[in-house]
Amino acid sequence: MIDGGDADRQAQLLRGALDMCLLALLSQHPGHGYELVRRVGEAGFPSAGYGTIYPLLTRMRRLGLVAQEVQDSPHGPARKIYAVTGAGRERLADWTAQWNEFVNVVGRVLADDPSQARSRG
């Protein structure tokens, strides 16, 4: 779990990375909203609840990054199962490359080597 002690900073970091993390989790295994909230929490983001995940799924569906399929449930009403589309897999690859570059730059700056950080930017 990520816990830096600064709730506002934590929320900002989460907003910048949650869509990418949710897409990565869906690329590993499709799932319904309730399950995705649980999986995101288990991945280390316990503060990401239903009010965060469901709107994000809706936005990603509108962007064509995920598709939803209604499946019957043996224990109640039908569920919307979300899965990554081909466009979603491409976007995840792009975001992963951007994230890795970002982490490298921040790491170099934090290591007090800004000249190395600028050489790639």
Nearest Cα neighbor of 20 from 106, 104, 82, 95 is: 95
Q: Using one digit for the tens of pLDDT, what is the confidence trace for 33-74?
A: 999 999 999 998 888 889 999 999 999 999 999 999 999 888
In tens, the pLDDT along 81-105 reads 999 999 999 999 999 999 999 999 9
Among 28, 99, 29, 22, residue whose Cα is nearest residue 63: 22
The pLDDT tens digits for 26-36 are 999 999 999 99
